[in-house]
């Protein structure tokens, strides 16, 4: 083997690490097809995807983004929302009567 041949321990042959899978807020927003403003507001509300803070820098793990997407999936309208909608409809009818 010559000195110019790359072996398995060469830096260019290393598998990607978790650091490579971190995204900036702009990249995360593009990945999620949301605005950076929405992500910032969701961070403040505490209902957005998990994030990592390095000093003032915010980063999102790609694995966390994918898991958050899965947690947002809804198969149908929840009963709680249906009850609220029905009460709203009843109020509207009462106010017209």
* Residue 42 belongs to a domain: yes
For the chain, what is the domain count? 1
* Residue 86 belongs to a domain: no
* Residue 87 belongs to a domain: no
* Residue 25 belongs to a domain: yes
Containing domain of residue 49, as a range?
19-73
* pLDDT tens digits in sequence order for the chain, 97 residues long: 444 444 455 555 656 565 668 999 999 999 999 999 999 999 999 999 999 999 999 999 999 999 999 999 998 876 665 555 566 566 666 666 5
User: What b/e sequence results for 13-40 when a residue is b if at least 16 CB atoms lie within 10 Å of its CB, and e otherwise?
Assistant: eeeeeeeeebbebeebbeebeeeeeebe
Q: How far is CA 21 from the centre of its chain?
A: 13
* Residue 27 belongs to a domain: yes
- Which residues, at least 6 apart from 50, have a Cβ–Cβ distance to it below 8 Å? 60, 61, 64, 68
Q: Which residues on adjacent β-strands are paired with residue 58?
A: 53
* Residue 4 belongs to a domain: no
Element (H, E) at 93: helix 79-96
Instruction: Provide the whole-model pTM.
Output: 0.59
* Residue 93 belongs to a domain: no
Q: What is the CATH number of the domain that holds 60?
A: 1.10.10
């Amino acid at each position: 083997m010559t000195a110019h041949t790359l072996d398995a321990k060469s830096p260019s042959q290393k598998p990607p690490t978790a650091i490579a899978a971190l995204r900036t807020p702009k990249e995360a927003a593009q990945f999620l097809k949301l605005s950076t403003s929405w992500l910032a507001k969701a961070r403040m509300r505490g209902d957005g995807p998990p994030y990592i803070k390095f000093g003032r820098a915010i980063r999102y793990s790609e694995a966390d983004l994918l898991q958050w997407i899965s947690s947002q999936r809804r198969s149908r309208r929840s009963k709680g929302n249906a009850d609220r909608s029905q009460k709203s409809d009843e109020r509207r009818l009462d106010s017209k009567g």
